[in-house]
Structure 1
């Protein structure tokens, strides 16, 4: 994998019974699509155990395997519990495999904060960042998640000054 492009999939909620939330499923399937199209040569799934087991990374990897991604190109970071930790804990793994470039896979409303945190941690990330699709309906949960990003972005901007 040395010198290749890696998709870094940021975690999201795992529901009871180990089911992926729609956000997590969307991100995992987007990463699998990037691999199938040859845009990335490996996928790094990032996310620890939240309210429900297994880890977000394990669920991302399972969804990617089910979408045809071979085990050999999947890596897991299973300690993180925030966007900053997703990126911070993934950096050593990316260095270890000699990733030449990284594509952060997240949702459009989350992408600005993820990009800010990556930049502050010294990670130059490429697009496409968003797993959003015109087919994804705008729901109250997605609006709420988008609105939550405004104060979160400001918090990251102040706290991660570099």
Structure 2
């Protein structure tokens, strides 16, 4: 069975367009689909600071990149990585193997969560990403978030799987 891509959300700009980070992730997911490495794409992300939902913004870009609606699953409620993956599982209970599309600084935590929820998971990251101070800030946030995930895992949460 062909894996499913889970594109994890990122910020939407005040005008409703994708942030550069979100656009990079979406284009990486489109490339995976066009090369036949994934058979469908789950777009993960609710409404953050600005609407529309991250998933809706991603879908608009993917349609422009030639992906058919039949290949897209929109998960529009999540607000963090745990709910991104958990809600994707709820929408697609047949998920077994996923390719998580996110930035490299975020990939480890996303894989840990997916594996904890019973998925075979690997990451596919855009070649470009934040640099310098932005990258250091992202890495610090990730360290704290990984601690939160560890606590979540130890507490026995499995989101119904």
TM-score (norm 2): 0.88
CA contact (8 A) 1:4 1:99 kept: no
Residue 111 in structure 1 maps to residue 107 in structure 2: yes
Equivalent residue number for residue 13 of structure 1: 11
- Note the C-alpha offset of 1:117: 1.2
- Equivalent residues of 1:4, 1:100 under 8 A apart: no
Give the Cα–Cα distance (whole angstroms) in 1 for the partners of residues 134 and 66 of structure 2. 29
Partner of 1:132: 126
Offset at residue 100 of structure 1 (A): 4.7
Offset at residue 136 of structure 1 (A) = 4.3
Q: Render the CA deviation track for 1:98-138: whole Å, top value 9, x for unaligned.
A: 3452111111100111111112222221x2x13231x5462
Q: Is the 8 A contact 1:34 1:40 kept in 2?
A: yes
Equivalent positions of 1:1-162 (< 5 A) are 3-95=1-93, 98-125=94-121, 127=122, 129-133=123-127, 135-136=128-129, 138-161=131-154, 162=156
SS at match of 1:16: coil
- Aligned residue pairs total 155
Alpha-carbon deviation of 1:160?
A: 1.9
Give 1:35 deviation, angstroms. Answer: 0.3
- What TM-score, normalized by structure 1, do the two folds share? 0.88
* Aligned counterparts of 1:143 and 1:69: Cα–Cα separation in 2: 34
Deviates more, 1:51-60 or 1:142-151: 142-151
Unmatched runs of 5 consecutive residues or more in structure 1: none
Q: Distance in 2 between matches of 1:22 and 1:57?
A: 15
Classify 1:136/1:114 alpha carbon distance in 2 versus 1 (closer, same or farther; 3 Å).
Answer: closer
Partner of 2:159: none
Structure 2: gaps spanning 5 or more residues: 157-161
Tell me by how many angstroms 1:94 deviates: 2.1
Pick closer, same or farther for the CA change 1:45–1:27 going to 2, 3 Å.
Answer: same
Quote the offset at 1:154 in angstroms.
Answer: 1.4
